[in-house]
Structure 1
Amino acid sequence: MTTTDTGARDVAEVLAWSRDLVQPAIREAADTLPASMRHISGYHMGWWDERGRPITTGSGKSVRPALALLAAEAVGGSAEGALPAAVAVELVHDFSLLHDDVMDGDATRRHRPTAWRVFGVSQAILAGDALVSLAFARLAGSGHPLAHEGARLLNATVLDLLDGQSADVGFEDRTDVTLPECIRMAGSKTGALIACACALGALYGGADARAIEHLRTFGAELGLAFQLADDLLGIWGDPEVTGKPVFSDLANRKKSLPVVAALTSATGEAAELAAIYRSGTVLSDAELARAADLVERAGGRDWCLETADGLLARAPAHLEEAGCAARPAAELTALSTLMARRTL
């Protein structure tokens, strides 16, 4: 069944619809923050510059809120009824980005200096803390009869996300990271929140436990596919698209999925790549290009693409098992394809 058959909107329309619903609600929520935290959060989200002057910089695609809203519609609920869930998920996502930028030392995000570069490390961390607190406040104040269950789900997700981030940071000092460990880390750091977006949307849409679990599984597998695509972009992505320098993950010696797949391939290329990663010097442009070539020659790139395709192929079955309505199911499928097959 094609999206045309179901009357489904294309992905650009879905994302624009989601932003139109969610962004005003996020701004309303942010207005309740202390002025200092509101200022930094608004800068991070692309609403204004460091002096608080309005700008028109993009605020990201907001795919996680779109997943929450579509999941609610897929189980017979309304997008408006699931708006607190969508807002909470996006606030947690922005909390994680603020903290990730600090921990990874990233200098730019969305083609601008990261919040910690502008306001300092401590202030950026505090702004992230404010956003995660605000996410729970939005659920608690939603008036939904299962808001407590939503808060429990979001809390478990935040803990899972933190566990994944802890593993990711821990990998930096290890030379023996295995591929299963890396997959588990990605499932926690990235997959958990995307799974939560789908499950929380379904919960606020009135789904039963079985449908919620199928949509959660759909989101978890999509989250891993999304991280596979993100890790490929971290090596081969166009800086004009990613907002980060080419080979940025290699320059930071990140143990990303394609890198770990290559390092554990028991090939000559794996040994040479391991030697580059062990070197204590700043990598030159030539060394970065060589490292990227080694990852590809050792099979890291192909493994990521094949794994993501396999995860993506299972998506329609999860939506069918959840009993999703045709139009939102088609839109969820199209959105998952965009997330897992972004242009390199």
Structure 2
Amino acid sequence: MTVVRSRGSDQIQTYVEPAIRALLDRLDPGNRLVAAYQLGYCDADGSPAASQGKGLRPALALLSARATGAEPDAGVPAAVAVELAHTFSLLHDDVMDGDTERRHRPTAWTVFGVGPAILAGDALIGLAYEALVEVPGGNPAALRLAQDVRALIAGQMADLSFEKRDDVTLEECLTMVGNKTAALLSGSCALGALVCGGPPGLVDGLSRFGHHLGLAFQLVDDVLGIWGDPRRTGKPVGSDLRARKRSIPVVRALTGGDAAGEALAELYRSPAALTDEDVARASGLVEASGAREWTQQRAWQETELARAELEALDLPDDVRAGLADVADFIPGRDH
């Protein structure tokens, strides 16, 4: 378990995981196996395994529900929906990026094939909507999730388009992140309150808190994608650089107008596959440009903006503490 789950892990294990497993039982055997593998519930042969996810999004959804004064289990449909939507995105993302490892295990598409991984993702997003529309008055939450997933997909499309361009701006990159990552985190902070009929001011404030949190999360993720310890991240060292991704530190370096950025641009334009030496050199160039420090500082700034939104909300003390725990965790996380 991670720090994120420390305050709400019991509730996730007690309420959310059983609800997800019950929804998975609605699927045909093939999709159920791939989905359960992706969620960490089983190995490729179907034998039980320990879940390895951070539990960040469902924890936020449960806290969002409790922000309205509801009981912990009232937010379960929202928590289930955001976790299934997130898992849907990871299944598709791994296929598109060609990633072969996630959370220290082979990615689902390398185990079961591209087609089954895509179909399992499709099945999970369908279950996410089922979880919400089956709640009395759950249509506003389902609509919000649909909007967040649409933004996520737009962000993913932009991310893919960046791979074919060498003129990506930092503003474009930040907008992409706001869609691809921050939209669903913002939704995670709003959906619980929506399911429980929370007032618009509370929902909007939680949503803004989650948006800033999501930006900070991705900024840190981009740093870890270059300098993270594979033993903690579950991904090969320098994986983003090897794939020539236009992550935020890379785009900040490429647009900085200094010698390090120009050298990095030349390396990225090379038609040959990047060697381990090339990846190490690229990492050094990004750092020399000041982009690593800039990205880390921007993550702290977004976290402070999230904390300011939190301070402006009238919340139960334990809910405020739980949300603050998440804000404290994100800028310093190492996985």
Q: What TM-score, normalized by structure 2, do the two folds share?
A: 0.96
Q: 1:46 aligns with which of 40, 49, 52?
A: 40
Q: Distance in 1 between matches of 2:227 and 2:177?
A: 19
Amino acid across the alignment from 2:254: L
Name the SS for the 2:54 alignment partner. coil
Aligned AA for 2:182?
G
Moved more, 332-341 or 273-282: 332-341
The answer to whether the aligner puts 1:117 opposite 2:110 as a matched pair is yes
Amino acid in the other structure paired with 1:35: P
Please tell me whether the aligned partners of residues 15 and 61 of structure 1 are also in contact (alpha carbons under 8 angstroms): no
- In the other structure, the counterpart of 1:317 is 308
Aligned to 2:290: 299
Asked whether the equivalents of residues 76 and 206 of structure 1 are also in contact (C-alpha less than 8 Å), the reply is no
Pick from 176, 182, 195: which aligns with 2:186?
A: 195
The one-letter amino acid paired with 1:105 is G
Select which of 66, 73, 82 maps to 2:75. Answer: 82
> 1:36 — aligned with what?
30
| Cα distance in 2 between the residues matched to 1:342 and 1:210 | 30
SS in 2 for 1:14: coil
Deviation at 1:327, TM superposition (A): 1.6
Alignment of 1:47-66 (within 5 A): 47-56=41-50, 58-66=51-59
Does residue 153 of structure 1 match 2:148?
no
Cα shift readout 1:264-306 (whole Å, capped 9, x = no counterpart): 1011000000011111111111111110011011111111111
329-338 vs 177-186, greater mean Cα deviation = 329-338
Alignment of 1:193-232 (within 5 A): 193-232=184-223
Over the aligned positions, Cα root-mean-square deviation in angstroms equals 1.3
More divergent stretch after superposition (190-199 vs 40-49): 40-49
Task: Give the alignment partner of residue 266 of structure 1, picking from 239, 257, 276.
Answer: 257
Q: Which residue matches 2:61?
A: 68
Q: CA deviation at 1:15?
A: 4.1
Counterpart-to-counterpart distance in 2, 1:55 and 1:72: 29
Distance (whole Å) between structure 2 residues aligned to residue 310 and residue 153 of structure 1: 26
Match of 1:26 among 15, 20, 23: 20
Deviates more, 1:297-306 or 1:309-318: 309-318
Q: Does structure 1 conserve the Cα–Cα contact (< 8 Å) formed by 2:307 and 2:327?
A: no
Partner of 1:177: 168
Of all paired residues, the percent bearing the same amino acid is 48
Q: Is the 8 A contact 2:233 2:334 kept in 1?
A: no
When structure 1 is superposed on structure 2, of 125-134 and 31-40 the one drifting more is 31-40
Match for residue 5 of structure 1? Answer: none
Unaligned runs of 5+ in 1: 1-9
Q: 4+ runs of 1 displaced by more than 4 Å?
A: none
Q: 1: CA distance between counterparts of 2:177 and 2:11?
A: 26
Q: Distance in 1 between matches of 2:283 and 2:220?
A: 15
Confirm or deny: 8 A CA contact 1:18 1:65 kept in the other structure.
no
For the 8 Å contact 1:222–1:340, the answer to whether it is kept is: no
Query: Alpha-carbon deviation of 1:30?
Result: 0.6
Residue 52 of structure 1: how far off its partner (Å): 1.1
Counterparts of 2:86 and 2:242 in 1: how far apart (Å)? 25
After superposing the two structures, state which structure 1 stretch, 282-291 or 315-324, moved more: 315-324
Change (3 A) 1:269 1:335: same
Whether 1:276 and 2:270 are equivalent positions in the alignment is: no
CA–CA separation in structure 1 for the residues paired with 2:20 and 2:293: 39
Corresponding residue number in structure 2 for 1:105: 98
1:135 to 2:128 alignment: yes
**Alpha carbons 1:212, 1:322 under 8 Å: kept:** no
Q: Could you tell me whether the CA contact under 8 Å between 2:5 and 2:55 is conserved in 1?
A: no
- Give the aligned length: 332
